[in-house]
């Protein structure tokens, strides 16, 4: 039967051995988790320059689309654009597929079937067409940014989980094991002293008879 590090153990030599084994086991587990955390942290740091560069480029691209859309809005007004949007069918399909990267599974967003909208009877400003054309052209770049962000925050979450496990071992499990070991050692020492005194008394009684 396994011995929990969170319970006050019964003093015995066998329990002392078991707790020492548990202590060594948790230290090995901690080392494994620490290695995994450091490796994940290294991957996270290596991803930061690429992510920052991609963010800068994508924000610039999105800014250009926003400027064109604002120009169209200034030309025909927000109400006219809202009417166009309400009567325009969405022509894009998005889906998420799982990919394993470096031993970790990530959900990767993909977009397909994107086509130009049909405005019907509405007169469309050239700025709006330009904005949509620009948006279609930057979609692959935006998908790449979204997936990089997803990978980044997945790795960051994993690092935090590893650190929480390390903290639990350092601040809860190992201290309680050490406390139990000290308790057992003191209890066994007390038992040995009582046995010694008992033997001395018995020997004296036997010696006087």
Q: For 207, which DSSP code?
A: H
Residues in the chain: 209
Q: For 10, which DSSP code?
A: P
Q: Is 2 among the domain residues?
A: no
Q: Which residues pair with 112 in a beta bridge?
A: 93
82-120 pLDDT tens trace: 877 777 665 666 667 777 765 667 677 677 666 555 555
Q: Is 108 among the domain residues?
A: yes
State how far the alpha carbon of 13 is from the alpha carbons of 16, 31, 78, 106, 182, in Å.
5, 27, 82, 49, 13
Structural domain that includes position 73: 13-208
Q: Is 1 among the domain residues?
A: no
Stated pTM of the model: 0.70
User: In this structure, what CATH number is given to the domain that contains residue 192?
Assistant: 1.10.287.3240
What does residue 101 show for φ and ψ, rounded to 5 degrees?
-125, 115
State how far the alpha carbon of 78 is from the alpha carbons of 64, 81, 109, 133, 196, in Å.
19, 5, 31, 20, 96
Q: Is 8 among the domain residues?
A: no
State how far the alpha carbon of 19 is from the alpha carbons of 31, 159, 175, 179, 184, in Å.
18, 29, 12, 10, 10
Q: Is 141 among the domain residues?
A: yes
Higher pLDDT, residue 202 or 7: 202
Q: Are the C-beta atoms of residues 128 and 68 closer than 8 Å to each other?
A: yes
Q: Is 3 among the domain residues?
A: no
Q: What angle do CA 178, 184, 188 make, to 5 degrees?
A: 150
Number of domains observed in the structure of the chain: 1
Band (157; pLDDT cuts 50, 70, 90): very high
What does residue 109 show for φ and ψ, rounded to 5 degrees?
-85, 135
- 16: nearest Cα among 172, 168, 178: 178
Q: For 170, which DSSP code?
A: I
Task: For residues 38-64, give the mean pLDDT.
Answer: 93
Band (78; pLDDT cuts 50, 70, 90): confident
Q: Is 137 among the domain residues?
A: yes
- 109: nearest Cα among 146, 135, 137, 138: 146
Q: Is 6 among the domain residues?
A: no
Band (121; pLDDT cuts 50, 70, 90): very low
């Amino acid at each position: 039967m396994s011995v929990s590090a969170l319970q006050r153990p019964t003093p015995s030599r066998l329990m002392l051995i078991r707790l020492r084994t548990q202590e060594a086991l948790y230290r090995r587990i901690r080392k494994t988790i620490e290695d995994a955390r450091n490796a994940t942290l290294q991957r996270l740091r290596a991803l930061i320059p690429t992510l920052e560069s991609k963010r800068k480029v994508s924000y610039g691209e999105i800014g250009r689309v926003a400027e064109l859309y604002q120009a169209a809005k200034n030309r025909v007004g927000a109400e006219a654009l809202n009417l166009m949007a309400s009567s325009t069918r969405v022509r894009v399909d998005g889906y998420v597929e799982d990919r394993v990267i470096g031993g970790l599974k990530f959900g990767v967003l993909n977009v397909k079937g994107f086509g130009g909208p049909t405005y019907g009877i509405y007169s469309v400003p050239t700025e709006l067409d330009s904005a949509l054309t620009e948006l279609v052209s930057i979609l692959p770049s935006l998908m790449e940014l979204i997936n990089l962000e997803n990978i980044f925050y997945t790795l960051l979450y994993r690092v935090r989980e590893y650190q929480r496990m390390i903290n639990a071992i350092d601040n809860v499990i190992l201290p309680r094991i050490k406390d139990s070991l000290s308790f057992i050692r003191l209890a066994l020492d007390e038992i040995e002293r009582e046995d010694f005194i008992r033997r001395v008394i018995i020997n004296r009684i036997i010696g006087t008879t």
